[in-house]
Structure 1
Amino acid sequence: MIDATLACLAREGHAGLSIRKISKEAGISIGLINHHYGGKDDLVGHAYETLALSLLDNIRSRIAEASDDPRARLGAYFRATLSAPILERSTLRTWVVFWGMVEHSKAMTDVHDRTYAEYRRLLEILLKDLFAARGWPEPDVRLAAIGLLAMLDGLWLEWCLNPETFTPEEAIGLCERWTDVFLDASAPRASA
């Protein structure tokens, strides 16, 4: 049902989405969908959460494959976020539908808030580990993670809209340089 919902969203958008189309795509009865979900918003919300968490699992896997060095692990987050399956135009098409529904659906708002918090928490952990490894006092990692997520989201969105603007490697380089500047600005200074 989830895969069918995601396929229909990518093809139809929200306006063309219906339980009938999803059931046809999944090869199941409408009654089966209605048995499992209270309505279209609940099903789409579950699809949104499933997609968001599967993409986050992909990021976590890429981080786990990186070395134990906290800086390399943060770099793995950038690479995973700015490569397939996240950096694909089909992902954007589906995400735009989700975003359009957030304003009108409590279920979608709740899913967005939960999943965004998970992405942010992972970045916060990576930033905390980075500062701990250097023995530096920790800055406000919540705000740093929010800023970094905003940059990643902006780069992802712009690339999906026009992949000729910059390469994924250039986008990763921007995130790496942002981190270097952030670290330099956060480094403890010797008092005079």
Structure 2
Amino acid sequence: MSPGLVNHYFDGKEDLLEATLRRLTRDLALEIRRLTPKEPSPLDRLHAIIDGCLQPDQLRPGAALAWRAFWAQLPVHPRLAALQRTVNRRFRSNICWALAQLIPREQVAETYLGLYAMIDGFWIRQFIDPDSFQMDDARRICRAYLRRAVEGNVQCPERRAKGPPVAARAATLNKAPGLHDHSG
């Protein structure tokens, strides 16, 4: 795109990157919602997040270039960095909320961080060498990590009833380091 077109429609490169990121994150949120069943379990929500984030369409060449350009600008553009923090907060909130339904709360932050690092790692690996793995394998590996984290830790209803309310657990998880709102 020529600088003239960018300046005609946007107030510079930063505005173009912000609009592009908003579009990409909206598309990702819509894809995750599409993949989420009508009455999802916490595990269904987590699978939809994994599957949505690791859809080949999310890393098509144009989108991949936009993400890379955006991430490269974060250190020098506070407005873009603030937008990324908002995206990370929503992502963390959704994953941690679902995890808190499945595993003891003291394991949620670490499990979240592992899953988040895996998803980001697959994105970066895809940017570097798109032929190094298949996205189906990435989704399978993330689901296997999640399955191992949950196996043996599934909270029984009695344990859940004795612990703090779900909302209180989710609020404490927002202090951990992380697309769409889990409430809808």
Which residue is equivalent to 1:137? Answer: 104
In 1, distance between residues paired with 2:134 and 2:20? 29
One-letter identity of the residue aligned with 1:154: G
Residues matched between the structures, number = 155
Decide whether the 8 Å contact of 2:36 with 2:45 is kept in 1: yes
Offset, 1:178 = 0.8
| TM-score computed with the length of structure 2 as normaliser | 0.70
Which among 65, 90, 105 is matched to residue 62 of structure 2? 90
Tell me how far 1:68 sits from its aligned partner. Answer: 2.9
Cα distance in structure 2, aligned partners of 1:125 and 1:177: 19
**Residue deviations 1:74-122, cap 9 Å, x none?**
2222111111321323221110100111011011111111111112211
- 1:103 paired with 2:75, answer yes
Q: What SS does the corresponding residue of 1:68 show, helix, strand or coil?
A: coil
> What is the CA–CA distance in structure 1 between the aligned matches of 2:59 and 2:105, rounded to whole Å?
31
Report what 1:176 is aligned to.
143
Identical amino acids, percent of aligned pairs = 21
The alignment's C-alpha RMSD in Å is 2.5
Structure 1 residues 95-153: Cα deviation after superposition (integer angstroms, max 9, x where no partner): 01001110110111111111111122111122123x1xxxx533342342232111111
Gaps of 5+ in 2: 156-184
Kindly provide the amino acid, as one letter, of the partner of residue 130 in structure 2.
Answer: P
Q: Which residue of 1 aligns with 2:46?
A: 74
Q: Does 1:62 align with 2:31?
A: no
1:41 corresponds to? 14
Partner of 1:163: 130
The answer to which structure, 1 or 2, has the higher relative contact order (CA under 8 A, 6+ apart) is 2
Aligned residue identity for 1:102: L
**Aligned equivalents of 1:104 and 1:140: distance in 2?**
34
- 1:143-154 alignment, distance < 5 Å: 143-154=110-121
Distance 1:139 1:88, change over 3 A: farther
Larger radius of gyration: 1
TM-score for both structures, normalised by structure 1: 0.68
Displacement of 1:185: 6.6
